[in-house]
Amino acid sequence: MEGLASILQSFGVVSGLVTNVTKSSIAPIQCANINLEEILANFPATTTPFPIKYLGLPLSLGRLRRVDLQPYIDKAVARLSPWKGKFLNRAGCTALVKSMLSSMPIFLLVALKADKGILKAFAKISRGMLWACKEAVSGGKCKVNWQKVCRPKELGGLGVLDLERFSRALRLRWLWYEWKAPEKPWVGSETPNDASDLDLFNAATRVTIRNGANASFWSSSWLHGAPPKDLAPLIFKASKRKNRMVQDALADNNWILDIAVDAFTADHMEQYVHLWELLSDIQLHPDTEDSITWSLTPNGCYSASSAYKVQFLASLPCQFGNIVWKTWAPPKCRFFAWLAVQNRLWTADRLAKRGWPHQPTCQLCRTSPETAQHILFECRFSRRIWTAAASWLSCPDLISSIGEGRPKVVDYWLAVSKSTTSSPIGLRSAITLITWEIWKERNERVFNNKSSLPSVVMHKIREEGKDWILAGAKNLAELVG
């Protein structure tokens, strides 16, 4: 310690960066049988146990506990203070949640494999902020399932990050740099990747074999664009050594010697012969390094975005991506449209299912049961507005396109958007505008006991349309002239 103190002192004299020892700390490792007080007598630094924080990350000799990561959750709570949400609409709350999830946890998720409890804690905070401007919210107030909220917009979600999938996409960077930057000092050490990460990485990459020193024989996608474990799963399962490199496995046919033949069946033999035939054409080039290509991007290089999106390949596509998100409208109106096409508005039929107070009949016509499709498209009050809108938009077949008796809101929405018109994109903006004003009129009657005639609502639509055009709705301007 005297030598360390002398080095620090000399460094301070030369550079002018003097170490303040009283503000420094020492974290001992495996020092149970050492008298630290005697050793540190001339070095008055504070002794601190693990876990400690270094460069913003928690370091521990063992597994990190929930309490070690609690400061990150506390920061997220402070960032998403409920009072901020009280001054924002739902679209603004969505932007705030996206901002927090795309910045605060990223540094942590790149370096560590965070526990699922931590990821759920972040999701809980974000969900509460989005739906109720609170730190936590019950399922009853969540209009859309959180897993669906976290899907990309083209798959019917809001585009909020799914932290479990995104953390996996970030961790693949370690595996990519093991190939592309072997000179990094951490290469060869344990990385925070699990078996699922390795499977995703191998599925997203293509390896070109040269000397076979860097590619995993069973897991890397090097044999006709696929990993051998997928081409011969029974042989892979029977292999006693699954971590050989290609060079080592092909040398003296070691991959064959590794196979346990105790329970060999006809299926095993068929896969073995198939794999042997594929490998018989492989020639190694000892003087050339193996190369790897990321198959999910045009330039062949890894990106976290492509690694994140590929994890949603199994999700079903949605019908309403274009009509909601590729339409010019204020964010709050597009958020409303996103809820409406999924039948997630708080109409009487949905309130009744939850046993919440409601008025069972439609407040626009006061005769029919209230549902989302009835309010927006079927109600006689709404029909009068759509008839007036057909003249305003110079779209005479608008009413016939709507039709009757469609089972879902999205069916009506898609039918109207396919009406013959001079500007299909402008028509999508107009549909959002008209349904938004109809919904506002419904809320005025329910909550404020104020009602307006269809002609007055249509006047509001025209005036609001002018504001939208001034704000940038060029296609709507082409439609209304």
DSSP character string of 28-69: -SS-TTS-HHHHTTT--PEE-PSSEEETTEEE-SSPPPHHHH
Question: pLDDT by residue (tens digit) across 322-346?
Answer: 889 999 999 999 999 999 999 999 9
**270, 263 contact by CB (below 8 A):** no
Distance between CA atoms of residues 466 and 477, nearest Å: 8
Contacts for 189 with CB less than 8 Å, ≥ 6 apart: none
Q: Provide the 3-class DSSP secondary structure of residue 462.
A: helix
How big is the CA angle at 88 (ends 83 and 89), to the nearest 5 degrees? 135
Closest CA relative to residue 91, chosen from 46, 131, 51: 131
- The DSSP-derived string for 282-336 is ----TTS--EEEETTSTTS---HHHHHHGGGTTSPP-S-HHHHHTS---HHHHHH
Q: What pLDDT does residue 169 have?
A: 95
How big is the CA angle at 443 (ends 438 and 444), to the nearest 5 degrees? 95
Closest CA relative to residue 405, chosen from 365, 368, 359, 357: 368
For 116, the enclosing helix (H) or strand (E) is: helix 116-132
Cis peptide before 227 (omega within 30 of 0): no
Share of the chain above pLDDT 70, in %: 99
Q: What pLDDT does residue 261 have?
A: 85
Residue 80 has pLDDT above 80, yes or no: no
The pTM of the full predicted model, rounded to 2 decimals, is 0.85
**What is the mean pLDDT of the segment spanning 38-44?**
79
Contacts for 3 with CB less than 8 Å, ≥ 6 apart: none
Structure tokens at 341: 């096409």
Residue 48 has pLDDT above 90, yes or no: no
Q: What pLDDT does residue 275 have?
A: 94
Closest CA relative to residue 193, chosen from 213, 167, 216: 167
Q: Beta strands 25-26 and 46-47: pairing type?
A: parallel
**423, 395 contact by CB (below 8 A):** no
Confidence of residue 256 (pLDDT cuts 50, 70, 90): very high
**327, 425 contact by CB (below 8 A):** yes
